[in-house]
């Protein structure tokens, strides 16, 4: 947020686009760094931002070490991170039934109150049966577990039809829905599960840091239209690069 305030303040001080048609305001490195130094950031706020990222992404060991070193307390029990990551890993490895059981152990209301998540887990279970070549078991599972849900929800029905279509093609490369067997499908389902567990724990489902980086990119793009200034292009180092004049 502090970078946004800096940029917006600079935008207000720059002439309108009509008067800037032939030139841009040039902000030197010294001037830019002075503006950055004028913005006071509390260390506690930065520490909370780091802890938010570690907790949301599931880095339990790093979060515990950071808690000890910085004195920053997480807003959830770190032990629940381990449980959440076990569920996520189960989905990512294709052990959907294990994931469902672990979710119910964590909080049985998660699946009871989230029919879309439960459907996607059941769909993923069907995909895993197809992947394993268990055709008869897959057909039986689709008929008994998924078909009734499709009758109640048109969107679910379309997803069922796409998944069952995998059985029609001998060469999955020719199936228009072959991407359902990609690892990316497991990752999407695992991400949905992760978000649901976090929400049930009254925690943000997405870390704040990526959103702040997106905001930085947006503000830099806005300022690019009006000024030449020291820009951050490498976000891994956050190094300022002198403006091209």
Residue the block writes with tokens 């807003």? 75
Residue 172: predicted pLDDT: 78
Whether 1 shows a pLDDT value over 60: the answer reads no
How far is it, in rounded angstroms, from Cα 238 to Cα 167? 49
For the segment 67-122, what is each residue's pLDDT rounded down to a tens digit?
999 999 998 889 889 999 999 999 999 999 999 999 999 999 999 999 999 999 99
Alpha carbon distance 4, 182 (integer Å): 39
pLDDT at 12: 55
Residues 182-191: tens digit of each pLDDT: 999 999 999 9
pLDDT over 60 (residue 10): no
Token pair, residue 56, equals: 């949301």
Residue 40: per-residue pLDDT: 87
CA dihedral 109, 111, 112, 118 (to 10 degrees): 180
| Model pLDDT, residue 20 | 46
- For 44, other C-beta atoms within 10 Å of its C-beta total 11
Is the pLDDT score of 200 beyond 70? yes
The partner residues of 227 in beta bridges, in order of sequence, read: 25
Q: How far apart are CA 195 and CA 78, in angstroms?
A: 16
What was the pLDDT predicted at 5?
A: 54
Quote the pTM value: 0.74
DSSP 181: G
Average pLDDT over residues 127-137: 94
> Please, are residues 229 and 33 in contact by the beta-carbon 8 Å criterion?
no
Mean pLDDT of the chain: 88
């Amino acid at each position: 947020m502090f970078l946004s305030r800096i940029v917006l303040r600079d935008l207000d001080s720059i002439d309108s686009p009509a008067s800037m048609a032939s030139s841009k305001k040039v902000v030197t490195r010294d001037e830019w760094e002075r503006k950055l130094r004028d913005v006071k950031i509390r260390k506690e706020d930065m520490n909370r931002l780091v802890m938010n990222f570690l907790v949301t992404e599931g880095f339990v060991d790093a979060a515990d070490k950071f808690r000890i070193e910085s004195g920053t307390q997480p807003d959830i029990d770190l032990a629940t991170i381990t449980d959440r990551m076990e569920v996520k890993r189960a989905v990512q490895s294709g052990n959907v039934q294990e994931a469902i059981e672990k979710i119910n152990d964590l909080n049985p209301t998660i699946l009871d109150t989230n029919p879309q998540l439960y459907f996607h887990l059941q769909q993923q279970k069907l995909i895993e049966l197809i992947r394993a070549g268990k055709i008869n078991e897959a057909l039986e599972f689709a008929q008994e577990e998924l078909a009734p849900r499709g009758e109640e929800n048109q969107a679910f029905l379309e997803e069922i039809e796409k998944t069952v279509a995998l059985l029609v093609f001998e060469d999955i490369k020719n199936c228009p829905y072959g991407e359902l067997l990609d690892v990316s499908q497991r990752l999407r389902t695992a991400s949905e599960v992760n978000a649901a567990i976090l929400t049930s724990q009254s925690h943000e489902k997405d870390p704040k840091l990526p959103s702040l980086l997106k905001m930085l990119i947006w503000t830099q793009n806005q300022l690019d239209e009006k000024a030449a200034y020291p820009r951050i292009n490498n976000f891994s180092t956050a190094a300022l690069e002198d403006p091209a004049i």
